Amino acid sequence: MIGIIGAMEEEVAALKEAMDIHETVEQASMVFCKGVLCGKEVVIVRSGIGKVNAGICAQILVDRFKAEMLINTGIAGSLDAKIDIGDMVISTDALHHDMDATEFGYPVGQVPRMEVMSFPADEELVKKAVQASEKANPDIHTFTGRVASGDQFIASREVKDKIVENFHPLCVEMEGAGIAHAAHLNKVSYVIIRAISDKADNSASVDYPTFERQAIAHSVRLVKELLTLI
């Protein structure tokens, strides 16, 4: 079973419309749609925004639906000048940029008493996601790299610069590390797919509403193509 998670309804609506839904289950105020999409058995769900919602959602997919693979689709802010609005980022790993236990001697981003700071994505799944993106969205660029997650919308250049200095990620968003963290603890594979909707700087308030719909469409096409490769 493949679990597909989007934070917002807009990020999963088109996928649910395209799937053959066999069952819907509500748990933790989330609606899990179980069925078939592109020939694969999937459960598609809107987690809600933020790392806690995303982590709870991932755990339910593993426990209740026996998901062996988690795909997180959605939008993000670019942290690299070469990555434009509409481009795709596929995660190599993910981490919590807002975790800070430096007072106890841990590096910023490190969850205390965990053996890793970042959570690696499944390498084969990353390769297939890149292949799917290049086929589904040939008019944009696809990048692979680190995804940084935190419970804040980044609209300040100063905050953006600090995240880049600390972690060197390609993009920033609000759910991926929660899902990656859950996948790591449960020993299941995952990949984060992010379409760039803004530049995570002072232009966010202008760019975000304009480009969100376009970015989501890119993600939806990628996910559908990826499922045919799995």
Q: What phi and psi, each to the nearest 5 degrees, are found at residue 169?
A: -85, 165
Active-site residue, selected from the candidate residues 80, 175, 198, 201: 198
124 is catalytic: no
d(CA 119, CA 191): 10
Question: Which residue, 53, 52, 57, 51, is CA-closest to 25?
Answer: 57
The Cα angle at residue 187 between residues 122 and 47, in degrees rounded to 5:
80
198 is catalytic: yes
Tokens of 145: 């790299």
d(CA 90, CA 85): 15
Gyration radius of the chain's alpha carbons:
16
- Residues marked active site are found at 11, 198
